[in-house]
Amino acid sequence: MSFSENVLRAVRQIPKGEVRTYGEIAEVAGSPGAARAVGSLMKHNRDLNIPCHRVICSSGKIGGYNGNLGKKKDLLEAEGFIVTAKNMLKKS
């Protein structure tokens, strides 16, 4: 399996109401330190079956979402998270 396939598989397995960091996904995909590559894959993913909104920055910031942070914020809040004015994530 390729790195990309491993990343997408790992993201598909994130349960609703949970998040993982780009770095955690990189590690699960077999490439620790490839957090930016995970971010790039998430940026270009168009498969709605991949819950990319559940992947966040290690700092707690929600990161990007195909240029639509409002949608990522809404999806996360619908799953029980609070997104602050600085786009930081907290579990409600």
Could you report the per-residue pLDDT of 12-56, keeping only the tens digit for each?
A: 999 999 999 999 999 999 999 999 999 999 999 888 899 999 999
Residue with the bigger pLDDT between 87 and 3: it is 3
Backbone torsions φ then ψ of 83, nearest 5 degrees:
-110, 120
Cβ atoms of 2 and 36 closer than 8 Å: no
The confidence score (pLDDT) of residue 70 equals 83
The confidence score (pLDDT) of residue 22 equals 97
> Which one from 28, 41, 52, 56 is the annotated catalytic residue?
52
| DSSP E strands, the chain | 20-21, 55-56, 81-83, 89-91
The confidence score (pLDDT) of residue 81 equals 93
Active-site residue flag, 52: yes
Q: For residues 50 and 4, what is the distance between their CA atoms, to the nearest angstrom?
A: 12
Q: For residues 89 and 92, what is the distance between their CA atoms, to the nearest angstrom?
A: 9
**Position 78 confidence tier, pLDDT thresholds 50, 70, 90:** very high
What single letter denotes the amino acid at residue 5?
E
The confidence score (pLDDT) of residue 88 equals 80
Could you report the per-residue pLDDT of 59-71, keeping only the tens digit for each?
A: 999 988 776 778 8
Q: Which domains does the chain have, with CATH numbers?
A: 3-91 (1.10.10.10)
40-49: long-range pairs with CB below 8 Å, 24+? 41/4, 41/7, 41/8, 42/11, 45/8, 47/8, 49/12
